[in-house]
Amino acid sequence: MAQNNRAEIGGFNYSRTGSMGRHGLPKIQTQHEKSSAEVCHDDSTTPVKAKTIDELHSLQKKKSQPTTPITGSQGAFTPTMSEEDRHRQQLQSISASLASLTRETGPKVVKGDPKSDGQKATHVEHHLYDASLFGVSDSALKFTHILYNLSPAELYEQAIKYEKGSFITASGALATLSGAKTGRSPRDKRVVKDEETENELWWGKGSPNIEMDEHTFLVNRERAVDYLNSLDKVFVNDQFLNWDPEHRIKVRIVSARAYHSLFMHNMCIRPTPEELEDFSTPDFTIYNAGQFPCNRFTHHMTSSTSVDLNLARREMVILGTQYAGEMKKGLFSVMHYLMPKRQILSLHSGCNMGKGGDVALFFGLSGTGKTTLSTDHNRYLIGDDEHCWSNNGVSNIEGGCYAKCIDLSKDKEPDIWNAIKFGTVLENVVFDEYNREVDYSEKSVTENTRAAYPIEYIPNAKIPCVGPHPKNVILLACDAFGVLPPVSKLSLAQTMYHFISGYTALVAGTEDGIKEPQATFSACFGAAFIMMHPTRYAAMLAEKMQKHGATGWLVNTGWSAGRYGTGNRIKLAYTRKIIDAIHSGDLLNATYSKTEVFGLEIPTEIEGVPSEILDPINTWSDKKAYKDTLLHLGGLFKKNFEVFMNHKIGKDNKLTGEILAAGPNF
């Protein structure tokens, strides 16, 4: 070492007495060079061969497609088809989707952003007949630019450049506004009533399905398609619903906003590049022209907003609302129709799985703790909202989560908090103008602030989002009347009764003092989205529970020792102990007693839970007040169930009688 006056520094041989390079610097020789003559000079390299800035930018980009991590590709890859032919076939399919009914042809579509002048355009003219026979309008002379399955980064750029109200927050999420509508518009939702749906769907009192005729749907479809075709560019997402590959549904979403495209990129299942190769024609298509209103003088319209489903055409049209949740819940309604026809039960529920493979379903309306209780660091999350139960087990319908953000905190909901990062869409939140920190307690725009993110943003998410048959079906109710037990074991008939009822209680405003809690009932814990009669879903649930040995549970996360205002909310720590005892199977071996009126089986002892609270009558000092309140709630259940009594199901209609007998008895 000393003889050659050399030193080894950081894996390189550095010569103190060797030849000098440019600028008087010594030459550096690596240990991996073949000879001492082969040296690296400073940072010299071959110049970039680009004549224009567009050519230079093109060197930055490597072609790819966004994917959802999944083991095993289900798509068919066709290596013999050239990329140009594949693009042409893809654009022809999109052009056919955007075909006008009156002209029976799609637009001349071009793949790429019209602002990218340096990008080579691929286009296709899709005509079903000789266009020269008809008058040519100005719209026929223009190209519609298709932005197809863009990545989150590309959609960020589009939103920030062209959509007012879109900003990057401090956490990296994209904050945006949904316009005047910050929630769903259920009164403006319509379903085409035809020969098939007339007998299959639930119509009339209590039903969420408001009818419209085929002609009116086509009028609205034409309005939406014409609007989309008039734009310089539209966003197209080709994605999947249902993680069970045997029952997967292909959906296409055509929209005018990058925000909507990113939202659906997160909420649906993202295909692999190989799966996109064989995507072909979708099973269902959404035309989201939400910026453009419907014609209020069109038949069946009640406002400038219209959300229309045509199950025969497998299409959905959105006019007059930019709230992204309409797309998510619209597709959920479609699954509530398509899946039962395949003898698959569609469910508005959360779902998780223990390390031993035991699966639990969680049903509950807003404020019952469904999200909190189904999110368990000791269990794998299959999904937070929408599921299917088939002969293969359970599967998540979606590829993402749509979480409420109001009053979100890192301490209470760390998984959701940490999921709000780059790629996540934040709807209608308020943030600091300077540092872009979101104030989740702020309700200036709406109380219905939301975050949409891919499910793999949750650390303990199970990918793919499928699991074996459930062992426990947990129905959650926040009983503000304070008379339901913290936990009850249900018979099959009781499970069906409480599943159809879908009960919880909302606390009334206290501006002029404490008022009566308001009982809320939502059939199947999701009445706004079901398509068929609730008893059909309930019968399927009971059949699957019986076949696979699942147990039903009613868990009250509301009040004890009195109603709201006099009693106390059941501690979350106690509810978690109850849920843990359900998961472990300990409650199956407990000793039970039966309550009056509702006839519920309640355990006499649960580890970690005070025994006196398990039977609510023990916690009330005024026993008469307890009995009166219990009878009052039972009466509300009976009144709600009147709308279901005339719908007969089961062999010889016996199942209807069994369900009715499982309700309050007094």
- Catalytic residue, from 103, 247, 329, 336: name it: 329
What is the C-alpha separation between 175 and 486, in angstroms, rounded? 39
Q: Is residue 370 annotated as a catalytic residue, yes or no?
A: yes
Q: Is residue 385 annotated as a catalytic residue, yes or no?
A: yes
Q: Is residue 184 annotated as a catalytic residue, yes or no?
A: yes
CB 637, CB 663: distance < 8 Å: yes
Q: Is residue 113 annotated as a catalytic residue, yes or no?
A: no
Q: Is residue 371 annotated as a catalytic residue, yes or no?
A: yes
Please compute Rg for the chain using Cα positions: 30
Instruction: Report helix, strand or coil for 417.
Output: helix
Q: Is residue 348 annotated as a catalytic residue, yes or no?
A: yes
List, in order, residues 6 or more apart from 503 with CB less than 8 Å away. 477, 479, 519, 520, 521, 637, 640
Q: Is residue 329 annotated as a catalytic residue, yes or no?
A: yes
What is the C-alpha separation between 215 and 213, in angstroms, rounded? 6
Distance from CA of residue 276 to its chain's centroid? Answer: 21
- Catalytic residue, from 280, 366, 584, 604: name it: 366
Q: Which two tokens stand for residue 545?
A: 């529970």
- Catalytic residue, from 385, 390, 449, 479: name it: 385
What is the C-alpha separation between 545 and 548, in angstroms, rounded? 5
- Catalytic residue, from 184, 190, 265, 270: name it: 184
Please state, in angstroms and as integers, the Cα–Cα distance from residue 344 to each residue in 248, 339, 463, 537, 665, following that order: 12, 5, 21, 10, 33
- Catalytic residue, from 348, 387, 462, 469: name it: 348
- Catalytic residue, from 221, 370, 471, 533: name it: 370
- Catalytic residue, from 169, 197, 346, 371: name it: 371
Please state, in angstroms and as integers, the Cα–Cα distance from residue 612 to each residue in 17, 484, 559, 563, 599, following that order: 88, 14, 14, 17, 18
- Catalytic residue, from 450, 471, 498, 533: name it: 450
The strands making up 470-477's β-sheet, listed across from edge to edge, are 380-383, 350-353, 359-363, 470-477, 551-556, 487-490, 601-603, 592-594
Dihedral angle computed from the Cα positions of residues 454, 385, 359 and 460, in that order, rounded to the nearest 10 degrees: 30
Q: Are strands 108-111 and 122-124 parallel, antiparallel or unpaired?
A: antiparallel
Please state, in angstroms and as integers, the Cα–Cα distance from residue 566 to each residue in 119, 145, 217, 483, 629, following that order: 68, 62, 52, 13, 13
Residue type (1 letter), 83: E
- Identify which of 342, 338, 296, 340 has the alpha carbon closest to the alpha carbon of residue 316: 338
CB 473, CB 552: distance < 8 Å: yes
Q: Which two tokens stand for residue 588?
A: 């199956």
List, in order, residues 6 or more apart from 534 with CB less than 8 Å away. 202, 500, 523, 524, 527, 644
From the number of C-beta atoms within 10 Å of its C-beta (0-12, 13-18, 19+), residue 649 rates as: middle
Q: Are strands 143-148 and 108-111 parallel, antiparallel or unpaired?
A: parallel
- Identify which of 544, 579, 375, 392 has the alpha carbon closest to the alpha carbon of residue 467: 392
Catalytic residues: 184, 329, 348, 366, 370-371, 385, 450
